[in-house]
Amino acid sequence: MSLIQSSMGRKLIMGVCGGVWALFVFGHMAGNMLILVGAEAYNKYAHAIVTNKPLLYGTEVALLSTLVFHVIFGVVLTLKNKSAREQKYAMTPNGEKRTSLASRTMIYHGTIILFFIVYHLITFKYGKETFVTYDGVQMRDLHSLVVEVFQQPAYVMGYVVCLMLLGWHLSHGVSSLFQTMGLNHPKHTPCIKMLGKVYAVVVTLGFISQPLYVIMTSF
């Protein structure tokens, strides 16, 4: 039986793909911290990424394919879990161990995150293009676009809400991934749960600090 045909195999693929995104969002957040350093540092960093074509295309292919697998298998798993629960309730109406709210709502915050990713790409990657020159090299002035967007209170409010949902998804997702990969032991469960929460808080607060910095230094 292939990995895709077994439910454990699908859960493993879904988890590993989620793990790739969990690592990516951390790297993306850390790189974007250069907004706090200044326009030149941020623009040069972005320029170095987009001009390194193997890195750029490799990352894009990896992110797109892992997102597709994560979403498809996440939806399949949710539907299968739902029908298994309904059958179980039909036989035994009580006694089932209650899972956390975060784990039961993964599909809902996941769907909002999906729309957020598309909107985020439209705003920044495919957004307004202006250019700036440093040391004789012309590059996209992404910093001024980011500042312009983060000066809009409605955008920042929506952005913060989506990032908090991402944090919620990560807080359950990271600890669940350890379990999926068989890296759990009852003795370590509290530690793994704490790791998921800390990871989620670091990523979320890191991202949120960027529009807050822009707002505080703009007015």
Using CB under 6 A as the criterion, which residues of the chain lie in contact with ligand HEM when the complex forms?
14-15, 18-19, 21-22, 25, 70-71, 74, 77-78, 81, 106-107, 110-111, 113-114, 166, 169-170, 173-174, 176-177, 180
Q: Token pair of 212, please?
A: 């807050």
The residue among 143 and 169 lying less far from ligand HEM, judged by its C-beta, is 169
The residue among 113 and 192 lying less far from ligand HEM, judged by its C-beta, is 113
Q: Token pair of 154, please?
A: 């409605």
Q: Which residues pair with 134 in a beta bridge?
A: 137
Backbone angles phi, psi at 137, to 5 degrees: -110, 125
Residue 4 CB, nearest distance to ligand HEM (Å)? 16
Q: Any alpha helices (H) in the chain, and if so which ranges?
A: 7-32, 39-51, 53-91, 101-104, 106-120, 142-150, 153-180, 189-218
* DSSP-derived secondary structure letter, 98: P
Residue 72 CB, nearest distance to ligand HEM (Å)? 9
The residue among 147 and 207 lying less far from ligand HEM, judged by its C-beta, is 207
Residue 50 CB, nearest distance to ligand HEM (Å)? 21
The residue among 54 and 186 lying less far from ligand HEM, judged by its C-beta, is 186
What residues have CB less than 8 Å from 12, skipping those under 6 apart? 3, 180, 181
The residue among 117 and 215 lying less far from ligand HEM, judged by its C-beta, is 117
Residue 87 CB, nearest distance to ligand HEM (Å)? 17
Q: Are 168 and 112 in contact (CB under 8 A)?
A: no
Q: Are 50 and 44 in contact (CB under 8 A)?
A: no
Residue 134 CB, nearest distance to ligand HEM (Å)? 31
Q: Token pair of 179, please?
A: 């379990």
